[in-house]
Amino acid sequence: MERILAKECLQKIGEKVLLQGWVSNIRDHGQLIFIDFRDWSGIIQIVIDAHDNAENHKVAASLGMEWVIEVEGEVTKRGEKAINPNLPTGEIEINCQKLTILNKSEVSPFPLDTDGTELDESLRLKYRYLDLRRPRLAHIMQSKHKYTLAVRNWMDQNGFTEVMTPLLTTTSPEGARDFLVPSRIHKGTFFVLPQAPQQFKQLLMISGVDKYFQIAPCFRDEDPRADRHAGAFYQIDIEMSFPTVDRLFGAAENLIRDTYKTIAPQKKIANFPFPRIAYKDAMNKYGSDKPDTRFGLELQDVTDVIKNKSEFNVFNSAETIKCLVAPKCAEFSKTQIEKLENLAKEKGAKGLAYTKVTDTGLDTGVARFFNPELQQQIIQATSAKSGDMIFFVADKLNLANKVLGYIRLNLGDLLNLRDPNILQFNWITGFPFYEINDEGKLDFGHNPFSMPKGGMDALQNKDPLEIESYQYDLTLNGYELASGSIRNHEPETLVKAFEIVGYGREEVLKKFGGLYNAFHYGAPPHGGWAIGLDRLMMLLLDEPNIRDVYAFPLNSNGVDLLMDAPSPVDQKQLDDVGLMLKPNAPNNQK
Amino acid sequence: MERILAKECLQKIGEKVLLQGWVSNIRDHGQLIFIDFRDWSGIIQIVIDAHDNAENHKVAASLGMEWVIEVEGEVTKRGEKAINPNLPTGEIEINCQKLTILNKSEVSPFPLDTDGTELDESLRLKYRYLDLRRPRLAHIMQSKHKYTLAVRNWMDQNGFTEVMTPLLTTTSPEGARDFLVPSRIHKGTFFVLPQAPQQFKQLLMISGVDKYFQIAPCFRDEDPRADRHAGAFYQIDIEMSFPTVDRLFGAAENLIRDTYKTIAPQKKIANFPFPRIAYKDAMNKYGSDKPDTRFGLELQDVTDVIKNKSEFNVFNSAETIKCLVAPKCAEFSKTQIEKLENLAKEKGAKGLAYTKVTDTGLDTGVARFFNPELQQQIIQATSAKSGDMIFFVADKLNLANKVLGYIRLNLGDLLNLRDPNILQFNWITGFPFYEINDEGKLDFGHNPFSMPKGGMDALQNKDPLEIESYQYDLTLNGYELASGSIRNHEPETLVKAFEIVGYGREEVLKKFGGLYNAFHYGAPPHGGWAIGLDRLMMLLLDEPNIRDVYAFPLNSNGVDLLMDAPSPVDQKQLDDVGLMLKPNAPNNQK
């Protein structure tokens, strides 16, 4: 007999079937033993009756959880009262005719019938093969498969060609650290694992591939972060020739609209096509370049209204006064307000001023500094209503934005304004091409391969900090989901762009000589983007932990606890590649 | 106006269109200039008439090959005589109304209108972005995309789930050298790039994933070989729980039958389901464990017929006498025979004996050693016919098989018996579990994770060299296409299998501890296979060079000439990972 899956039994009522899978639960009622039998398709109930077959009953009584069994039996309808509405196979069960043990199991170190989030992650990762048997994780694996397949089919139907780009290559300009792979054949030299297929996808455009895509493995040696998987991750990567901004944006918008329901049919896209927000507006209105616009609560600039209009020195001496009207929050408790104040201080603010809006004016908090006329002006300027609370931050513009942006997100949570079933996408446009980096030096704001607005002319004649980039981010519900740009395909403009941040021509040619040369042979205008697959999966599946999007993730410290990687190697393996451990180097072995 | 592709113009006769692409060819007839315009979809003819627009004509006259242009114009039907039947768009052309230069191009270092095989490969790889503009290479990229998509959809429809397995991991037992990736966070330790997802796919079975697949990147640090891409390659990788040999074989057979026509509709599968040949029979009949069975010419054992029946000492002293009847080859010239003799010697034979079959007996060559009676016995035993040639090798069995197998393939080529449009698949079964390796030691014949036939009992009680493995190869037209097995899922049997070749229990646990432990927690019986995607692409597309199946291959010396990888790195990058170059190591830098 051909083995079938549990859920396929629904089509086999009255027939004899063969099942192979795991013991998920056992209920021993003496004469009758019930087994919750589990396979990849789900759970089905097996009934073993000592009256029917004493031998099977003996075997069933000996079973342990997670043992591997084979069941031959007849699919029967359950009686009305025995129906289990919580189980897809709840209307049927298997009357066991033959029960065979295929393999035993030691006792699992943790229960498998929870969602696992209550457990120590290290233990889960060490026994990942058990952890993955949970319905939640099996569902993630199935969803990731279904979603990437839907993406690939969409791409194909829309004229994109998947090309696999090299995994042993040279450095790319993504700004993270490279993973090195020492060469054995050419000792003393190293391959680099690609941070992204950036250069290759641009080379593919020069090769005449009209529209490229790839579910591309990317490698970045960064210190672990909560929202990024350590080491390796995947992105939905595209590039197209002869792009316009509308074609570039349209590809992402249509892709997402046409595919997300495969795994998240209950969610709704709030606005289509996706709204476009200028970077500066995003910072000023939401205090973030990845604003969550599922709710309003926009930051307001009240500098002109308040500054030097009262005796309140903190406000008078500040560069900017910004505020946020929290609707119907006048009744916030002292504890709630203190919590928000602490959050503001965490983000670098000196404090968080507040006041309540009443029928007659402002009350409590900073209201005492404002005369009735000023109070009315503030209410009018901010469109605040009686019963609202207003929060103020007076500081430098960037800091005020950042702090109030953070308070805004917290209010969004507090007021339940962040509905996970609403998908609010935004394009952020008009990023600065250059910025001052943490070391106080002029540096690229984003991807150095983007085209600066105004091209060579702008690079030669404008203040670098004034130049905008043809660079775009796509955000979803407050997360950066994708990044893209129209590229710089002019070799001399590329050299110039690097020169401005201090790279000489020779350095550019040494690092990106292949691409620089290629630009001389009929390079078409081109552009593209990359969507973080993991982050999209997290948001579509409401999974807070990015590691659970991977079947076998590294832990938050970049270690594979199941396979014990990374680990020391034999000296012979190092000899093969002409390397040795640096003596006296701090030994950080796990 | 929205830009469209050249081939889409077929649906736009009489309409105005916008095209963007490359100048593939120019024919200047004075008043009239014809441009072969090329984009990803193919070529279309653009007509620029000085009478219509002098400005466009001037631009057209200035164009160079491979320049990037934009063309606005009307799609018109060509006159009867001007139709080009060799071009898919040969019945139409574009009457140019506006011609714009989007980018210039330097002169290509090689022509792009050939198939490129006549060129020095190094030059092609250095300018790969030009090389890829050839129709042949564009076709390979498109075919690879279409084929992998067809595979993925087939897998989905047949219950397989694609799971991406880790790329930064630990060693796997594929028998090649590992690529190392030094860890920065845990200095002194190393990740390993996976040689195959072998352990992870087995862990997925233990995780309850019923049928897994992946188009999986694999990394092996092997010395370059003609039929294998250096460094990294992809395989179509599957694993299934509760397998039977028929289900395992059926998955490959149905997958290939249902998908190959996507890119090779002109080819035919010779036998379905694929024949199964025992390893010993393959060696004895075809002298190879990857026999090309598109033609017969089977090796025959004539030891009993000839040995000690004549005065020919070479034959009398040999362990085995094997022969091959080449039909209708009695007229082979001396040169042809000498060529075959040299091939035989290359493979280690002392010589290649031959004789012709005539109406009355044998003639020339070794015939002189055989009396008429023996001649008739040989003719009868081999079913040779008048006009045939018989080739003999007398030596040890293995060598005689190997040499005659090689001669057989050469005869297949000479006699045009290897039709590339016939796909002859075979399963090779019954491989020995152990063998004597090149160093004279007992070693695994193939995948050590395969189940030995007879299990623990066989390992404990049989001569290791007599044990067969549940290991299978799939061959296509004389190439090894895939390898698979029913796995050993019993932890103690696994330890025992390794002990026999000299690994202690501790060594096994150190190397494969994760999998060993997992086997204790309800591991289902499981098995799978992996098809070499590149080799399948080569055979379906009739491409002799495996590197051309890759968009950006490493060259035959493992070097990326376009991106200059591998290359030296800064000392700082080595400091980051706590390594230094070994002093006095032979410097093999390129």
pLDDT tens, position by position, B373-396: 999 999 999 999 999 999 999 999
Residue B223: the pLDDT is 83
Inform me whether the pLDDT recorded for A172 exceeds 80.
Answer: no
| A276-278 and B16-29 strand pairing | unpaired
A169 and B CB contact within 8 Å = yes
Q: How far apart are CA B578 and CA B575, in angstroms?
A: 5
Task: Please give the mean pLDDT across all residues of chain A.
Answer: 95
Please judge whether B551 and A204 are an interchain contact, meaning their C-beta atoms are less than 8 angstroms apart: yes
Please judge whether A217 and B221 are an interchain contact, meaning their C-beta atoms are less than 8 angstroms apart: no
Contact residues, chain B, for A145 at CB < 8 Å: 156, 161-163
Average pLDDT over residues A289-310: 96
pLDDT tens readout for residues A28-76: 999 999 999 999 999 999 999 999 889 999 999 999 999 999 999 999 9
Contact residues, chain A, for B578 at CB < 8 Å: 581-582, 585-586, 588
Residue A258: the pLDDT is 98
Q: What values do phi and psi take at A505, rounded to 5?
A: -55, -45
Contact residues, chain A, for B573 at CB < 8 Å: 178, 180, 190
Do residues A393 and A322 touch, judged by C-beta distance below 8 A?
yes
Contact residues, chain B, for A41 at CB < 8 Å: 210
Inform me whether the pLDDT recorded for A291 exceeds 80.
Answer: yes
A522 and B CB contact within 8 Å = yes
Please judge whether B567 and A189 are an interchain contact, meaning their C-beta atoms are less than 8 angstroms apart: yes
pLDDT tens readout for residues B51-79: 988 999 999 999 999 999 999 999 999 99
Average pLDDT over residues B163-180: 87
Q: Which of A149, A165, A520 sits opposite B552 (nearest CB)?
A: A165
Do residues A193 and A168 touch, judged by C-beta distance below 8 A?
yes
Contact residues, chain B, for A537 at CB < 8 Å: none
Can you tell me which residue has the tokens 């309850």? Answer: B208
Q: Which of A102, A564, A577 sits opposite B170 (nearest CB)?
A: A564
Inform me whether the pLDDT recorded for B590 exceeds 80.
Answer: no
pLDDT tens readout for residues A471-512: 999 999 999 999 999 999 999 999 999 999 999 999 999 888
- As a whole-number percent, the residues of chain B with pLDDT over 70 amount to 98
Residue A175: the pLDDT is 73
Inform me whether the pLDDT recorded for B87 exceeds 70.
Answer: yes
Please judge whether A68 and B209 are an interchain contact, meaning their C-beta atoms are less than 8 angstroms apart: no
Inform me whether the pLDDT recorded for A207 exceeds 60.
Answer: yes
Average pLDDT over residues A11-18: 98
Residue A588: the pLDDT is 55
Please judge whether A588 and B186 are an interchain contact, meaning their C-beta atoms are less than 8 angstroms apart: yes
| CA distances for B575 relative to A394, B58, B377, B572, angstroms | 45, 59, 76, 5
Q: Which of A181, A223, A451 to mutate to test the interface with B (most CBs of B within 10 A)?
A: A181
Inform me whether the pLDDT recorded for A590 exceeds 60.
Answer: no
Distance from CA of B40 to the nearest CA of A (A): 6
Please report the residues numbered 349 through 378 in chain B whose beta carbons come closer than 8 angstroms to any beta carbon of chain A: none
Cβ-Cβ contacts under 8 Å between A and B: the total is 378
Average pLDDT over residues B471-489: 96
Inform me whether the pLDDT recorded for B587 exceeds 90.
Answer: no
Q: How many CA atoms lie within 13 Å of B416's alpha carbon, on the beta-carbon side?
A: 1
A142 and B CB contact within 8 Å = yes
Inform me whether the pLDDT recorded for A470 exceeds 60.
Answer: yes
Average pLDDT over residues B441-468: 94
Do residues B414 and B332 touch, judged by C-beta distance below 8 A?
no
Contact residues, chain A, for B21 at CB < 8 Å: 208, 524
Confidence of residue B584 (pLDDT cuts 50, 70, 90): low
Nearest CA in chain A to B490: A103
Please judge whether A207 and B557 are an interchain contact, meaning their C-beta atoms are less than 8 angstroms apart: no
List the one residue out of A416, A206, A538 whose CA is nearest residue B552.
A206
- As a whole-number percent, the residues of chain A with pLDDT over 70 amount to 98
| A211-220 and A161-162 strand pairing | parallel
ipTM over 0.90? The verdict is yes
A130 and B CB contact within 8 Å = yes
Residue predicted with more confidence, B311 or B131: B131
Distance from CA of A40 to the nearest CA of B (A): 5
Inform me whether the pLDDT recorded for A558 exceeds 80.
Answer: yes
Distance from CA of A126 to the nearest CA of B (A): 8
Residue A1: the pLDDT is 87
- Where do the H-state alpha helices sit in B102-134? 121-126, 128-131
Q: How far apart are CA B248 and CA A549, in angstroms?
A: 29
Q: Is B86 left (phi over 0), alpha (psi -120 to 50) or beta?
A: alpha
